[in-house]
Amino acid sequence: MIEKITPSNVTSISAGKKQNIQNTAVSDVRTEDTETSAPETQQTSAQVKSRLDSPYLQARDVQSNVSFQQSRSYALLDVNSKLHDLRNLAMQYKNNELSLPEQDAIVAKAEQALYAIDQTASSSQFLGTKVISDADSRELGLEVINLEAGDPVGQINSAMKKVAAKLAMNSAQSDTADVRLENIKKSAAEIISEFQAEQTAKSIMNSIQNASPDELYSGLDSSKVSELLGI
């Protein structure tokens, strides 16, 4: 009978694989506007930046969630790998030609595999939050596993299916977050485009207001109109 080995003092360790948080999407959302000395334009620029604050904060939160999901995926994959090792040990144990010392060695390795699963679940964190607290040996139905009787291989297969389902759900959530991030970027781009259009219109109006009547009407043809309108 193999019982879960509970570490008396599990030290928090790195999951071993860390994904660098990419800030490209966030930096795309927070765009600096062209500097100008005109008070009205400065006010408009401030309003645009204020409108961009919301998508910027949303993008930052979504990107943080993406990074959490990445950390969770790495930890789940690590647990899945250990479950494969545990299943191989359970299958080896069924070999009737094994001596008692060989069987004892397999049991010891199985105990270590269960310990490693719990240690991964306990130590895998993102910004201080555990990412797979739902994937330790107890949650996976492996708190007690008997290699000598019952169906240990089937028990381990069931645990592997649970991990696979968690990985699939994690992948779907990451895809949803990617879509949200793209929508936020589009929203920010529309705000910036609207601001640029307003600035262009003001620039054209200033040019017309500052021009003399002779400059306005001299040689005013379709191409000149297009030039003034910026088209």
- All structural domains of the chain: 2-6+38-203+211-229 (1.20.1330.10)
Rounded to the nearest 10 degrees, the angle between the axes of helix 100-123 and helix 39-93 is 170
CA nearest neighbour of 84 among 110, 115, 118: 110
pLDDT for res 22 = 39
pLDDT for res 170 = 92
Contact indicator for 230, 204 with CB cutoff of 8 Å: yes
**CA dist., res. 107 & res. 128, Å (int):** 34
Give the rounded distance of the alpha carbon of 16 from its chain centre.
17
- Could you give phi then psi for residue 199, rounded to 5 degrees? -65, -40
- Could you give phi then psi for residue 38, rounded to 5 degrees? -70, 125
pTM for this one? 0.63
pLDDT tens digits, the chain, 231 residues: what are they? 554 433 333 333 333 333 343 344 444 444 444 444 455 556 666 776 777 777 778 888 888 888 999 999 999 999 999 999 999 999 999 888 889 999 999 999 999 999 999 999 999 999 999 999 999 999 999 988 888 888 999 999 999 999 999 999 999 998 888 888 888 888 888 878 877 777 777 777 777 667 666 655 555 555 655 665 555
